[in-house]
Structure 1
């Protein structure tokens, strides 16, 4: 009989009087590497936090570490996103701070963070270099933590975890924000640490998994269920709803040209992030923006959304006006609906679901004024469309990550903007939620909305996309019509 490694008996967890886990039992054995999949909000992350000792619950959790194993006898839980702090130990950042120069010495560099982690965990710094190279992260050594994109932060989390090699490694959404090459290399690294004795629990619904994974499971109605693959867990009831009437109206365009960039350059000191960018987006076009992690995508979008101060030093036209000719950042944002992982990080978690969606009318990170009745009705319609009625008065921060993302997606489209900027919009969503959202994007774009969509997963893209721009090391590598290239 195989020796048990993690033994869970009679686990119960309630959150705000709602049962999340109910008399859950689960035993893992040595040599087993698990994937937990299934719908968003089913309790997967809560279960992982309980195993890692980060969340209390009623029941018994026993971990039988191997005392003869040279690997650290600990559980490391890698969260779905990275919570970093400044040099004073505070995490009080704001969204645009990443693009300003004032924070230059406010956070550690990647190298300093790794040195600090290595000292804390008694690790050799030379052992981390192969991991950095495999994930194409070596060039970020001098980057401040606040300068990193969501995908780059994910890489930093993964580098530290693979460097430590604990006896039990739990990773929540391991592939979030990673480009295709990085996902492939991550799987190779996960296979290697598994051979070294690390046991894995991955929380995800992604089909491209390391070959060392040999067990599949999920949580349904608070109970642990083992399955033969992730497919049975991805099927959920499809609540098909008609798109709200106010979103069926075509946007009113202020100009036929949404974006025009002429030889745009962005640098931080000696580091050039964007190089001679020339790009034009016309009203009604649907673009896919792609590139490896660190290629400059987030910086490019920050120029369009009015968040980057260096836009004034470049020839940049937004909605028919040259940047810096008198328009405010709020004038620009009136035309745009935006969602990005970084925006999610900095959003006001003290707002309710309803308030969060309503704030999209005013482009604020919280609702600070009372809505007219007509706008309140539109918020109610979107709450219903996204299946959030039962949660509308709950705090955004109290929802599972997937539902938080749905709330912010609803916020993004509430004003039926001329331009939708969707940067990895389906991070944290289950397969059914992703399908539902992309159907909505297709319908909105059929009514004439302009789209810039960032997505690393080819299988998670809306069908309406017509054109593609590919960045490589800050330069435009490809501009093409997708319909002709397929």
Structure 2
């Protein structure tokens, strides 16, 4: 009988007083390839980090590889500026001057190759497979969240470790890239790398032949990915009363863009964009990674400096006609991957939610007694009261997202701009949040929702905008979310 590739016995991990894994046992047989799913916060990432030697643990983890080389790839991609630090702010990617503060994709790959003793030319087939070749001369900070994920994956595959553990490998990727990624996983498996994919996605590469979930600190093998997140009915709660107040607006026109173009040097990001959103409409915005979705939303969010140079009207007012950025932001509730990446790392969960009242990245001013009550009501609504004094960054990713989502709606804004809001949420959390969005829309809210998965969209969606290489290819009403066929086209 061959020796297991990984043999784990009596594995226990605690964070403070909280036990995440308890006497976990697992035999990872040589030649098997695993996917581990389950609820957000169940301990998947903790198990991965323990195998990679990144957290302290009790028990034993025996690896049957001479080099003991295990590469753990976290769910988010981190990059630095030219001075080697990460002091970015989330609007920075839209600032022409600040964009020059980071390396290009090509120079970043060259430096990585040098540090990891790799050949630069070996990265090019991976870049082509994941659709990044056209971005070689782009600044890192100018990439979309999906393109950053591709960069992270290229570097992981390039190293060909004995074992590759990837946390949420499909986050933010369009359908075409997810399919290409599965081909890369199959190829890596054929070349001898052992895989652990931490995901609830059911469209997995053919090489994955074993499945498990973590429940109550223990690893439990299941028959298929269909058992990753069993249907769970969350406790029905009444929406806080302050969120049922319909917005008072002087105009039925929420957004109007006419012949808008956005360029960076020779690169055109958006081309001849004309689009109107009226009060109460619920839009889904879709397109391939890098198609211009986030840039388009930044024009609406008042985060893009080029917004002043074009014919853009928000809430009935021409941009640059007297309204301040903060006047506009007061009417918009925003969540995006970039905002989450760059959020204040010293903020508690309570401070994170409360900061939405002042549109700040962290809480830096006092709020009223009534506002404090509203924060507490939302924490209870999203089942975050028990962790309200914990640092946001110490929570499982799914709970971090719920806190950020609570921050988005705390001021009861008339316009919700939700850019891939369910990244990191499990199936139950995703359904719960989208049900909340649907209920909010019953009280006069206007919605812009970016999402790649048809199955993870609010049912109230009634309009769709589809972008392709910065151009609008569909703009209009739909009867249901089943008509959001970008997954077939992407």
In 1, the alpha carbon distance for the partners of 2:172 and 2:121 equals 26
Q: Is the 8 A contact 1:253 1:283 kept in 2?
A: no
- For 1:268, the equivalent position in structure 2 comes to 264
- For 1:3, the equivalent position in structure 2 comes to 3
Instruction: Please list, as runs of the form range in 1=range in 2, the aligned pairs for 1:304-383 lying within 5 A after superposition.
Output: 304-383=300-379
In 1, the alpha carbon distance for the partners of 2:272 and 2:278 equals 20
- With 49-58 and 418-427 compared, the bigger mean Cα shift is at 49-58
Deviation at 1:425, TM superposition (A): 0.4
- For 1:414, the equivalent position in structure 2 comes to 410
In 1, the alpha carbon distance for the partners of 2:421 and 2:354 equals 19
Deviation at 1:20, TM superposition (A): 0.7
Deviation at 1:28, TM superposition (A): 0.5
In 1, the alpha carbon distance for the partners of 2:403 and 2:455 equals 23
TM-score by length of 2: 0.96
- For 2:487, the equivalent position in structure 1 comes to none
In 2, the alpha carbon distance for the partners of 1:197 and 1:167 equals 7
Deviations 1:278-298 (A, max 9, x none): 001111100010010010001
- For 1:35, the equivalent position in structure 2 comes to 35
Deviations 1:88-142 (A, max 9, x none): 1111111111111222432111111111122223323222222212211111111
- For 2:23, the equivalent position in structure 1 comes to 23
Among residues 142, 146, 164, which one is paired with 2:137 in the alignment? Answer: 142
Among residues 419, 427, 432, which one is paired with 1:431 in the alignment? Answer: 427
- With 335-344 and 163-172 compared, the bigger mean Cα shift is at 163-172
In 2, the alpha carbon distance for the partners of 1:440 and 1:403 equals 16
Q: Is the 8 A contact 1:259 1:317 kept in 2?
A: yes
Unaligned runs of 5+ in 1: none
Q: Is the 8 A contact 2:256 2:312 kept in 1?
A: yes
Matched, 1:88 2:83: yes
Unaligned runs of 5+ in 2: 484-490
Deviation at 1:325, TM superposition (A): 1.2
- For 2:57, the equivalent position in structure 1 comes to 57
Matched, 1:98 2:104: no
Aligned alpha-carbon RMSD (Å): 1.4
- With 266-275 and 116-125 compared, the bigger mean Cα shift is at 116-125
Deviation at 1:481, TM superposition (A): 1.8
Tell me the secondary structure at the aligned position of residue 55 of structure 2.
Answer: coil
Instruction: Please list, as runs of the form range in 1=range in 2, the aligned pairs for 1:216-255 lying within 5 A after superposition.
Output: 216-235=211-230, 236=232, 238-255=234-251
Among residues 119, 124, 149, which one is paired with 1:124 in the alignment? Answer: 119
- For 2:460, the equivalent position in structure 1 comes to 464
Deviations 1:342-372 (A, max 9, x none): 0001111211111111111111111122221
In 2, the alpha carbon distance for the partners of 1:147 and 1:463 equals 32
Q: Is the 8 A contact 2:202 2:226 kept in 1?
A: no
In 2, the alpha carbon distance for the partners of 1:480 and 1:177 equals 24
- For 2:48, the equivalent position in structure 1 comes to 48
TM-score by length of 1: 0.96
Matched, 1:481 2:477: yes
In 2, the alpha carbon distance for the partners of 1:127 and 1:90 equals 27
Tell me the secondary structure at the aligned position of residue 9 of structure 1.
Answer: strand
Deviation at 1:251, TM superposition (A): 1.9
